[in-house]
């Protein structure tokens, strides 16, 4: 991560990753095992596309399980008291205005592990997160995006 040497998760992010790990281990792993068992009836394993697809899926599920276990093992859960409100940091809820079109946007800055842009959880490693990290209320910040540069005014920072 660009701003922290360790993985820092909000409590919500930690809970979400734990639920995903639980689902992978207890639901998807079983489903893939059943597909493997069922696919063996489709003939010779060396020429069995169903079997190969199931083996590939099994490898992906096991890889995700391993990765999530590692993340959850080393991740530090962010103490709500450590979320800054005087500057933008991990866990900060930021409200800002696009100075080019007056659109307002509120998002939470999170680590890349729990980023979900569709739900306004923005990674500190993204162009927006990286540009805003450490900035304060009333700062104007240029953010380089594929279409050019967008200027944002930081309206508020809260927990």
Contact between residue 124 and residue 132 where contact means Cβ atoms under 8 Å apart:
no
Contacts 24+ apart (CB under 8 A), 27-30: 28/61, 29/61, 29/62, 29/65
**What does pLDDT average to over the chain?**
91
3 found inside a domain: no
1 found inside a domain: no
pLDDT in tens, 26-46: 999 999 999 888 887 766 666
Give the pLDDT score at 108: 96
Over residues 131-136, the mean pLDDT reads 97
Q: The domain spanning residue 113 has which CATH number?
A: 3.10.50.30
User: What is the phi/psi pair of residue 140, to 5°?
Assistant: -110, 125
52 found inside a domain: yes
Contacts 24+ apart (CB under 8 A), 88-91: 88/132, 88/133, 88/134, 88/135, 88/136, 88/154, 88/157, 89/3, 89/133, 89/134, 90/3, 90/4, 90/8, 90/10, 90/124, 91/10, 91/159
65 found inside a domain: yes
Last residue of a domain, one of 60, 77, 94: 77
Task: Provide the number of structural domains found in the chain.
Answer: 2
Q: Is the whole model's pTM more than 0.85, yes or no?
A: no
Cβ neighbour number for residue 35 with a 10 Å cutoff: 17
Give the pLDDT score at 145: 85
Do 119 and 73 reside in the same domain of the chain? no
Over residues 3-16, the mean pLDDT reads 82
Last residue of a domain, one of 52, 77, 102: 77
Do 36 and 49 reside in the same domain of the chain? yes
Domain span holding position 110: 82-158
Do 93 and 35 reside in the same domain of the chain? no
Do 29 and 95 reside in the same domain of the chain? no
């Amino acid at each position: 991560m660009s701003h922290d040497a360790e993985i820092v998760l909000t409590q919500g992010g930690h809970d979400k990753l734990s639920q995903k790990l639980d689902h992978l281990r207890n639901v998807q792993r079983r489903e893939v095992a059943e597909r493997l068992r069922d696919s063996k009836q489709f003939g010779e394993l060396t020429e069995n596309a169903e079997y190969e697809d199931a083996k590939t899926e099994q490898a992906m599920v096991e890889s995700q399980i391993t990765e999530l276990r590692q993340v959850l093992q080393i991740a530090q859960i962010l103490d709500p008291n450590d979320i800054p409100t005087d500057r933008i940091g991990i866990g900060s809820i930021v409200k800002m205005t696009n100075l080019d079109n007056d659109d307002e946007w509120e998002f939470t800055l999170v680590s890349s592990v729990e980023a979900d842009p569709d739900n306004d959880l923005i990674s500190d490693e993204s162009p927006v997160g990286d540009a805003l990290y450490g900035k304060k209320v009333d700062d104007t910040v240029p953010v380089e995006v594929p279409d050019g540069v967008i200027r944002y005014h930081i309206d508020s920072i809260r927990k």
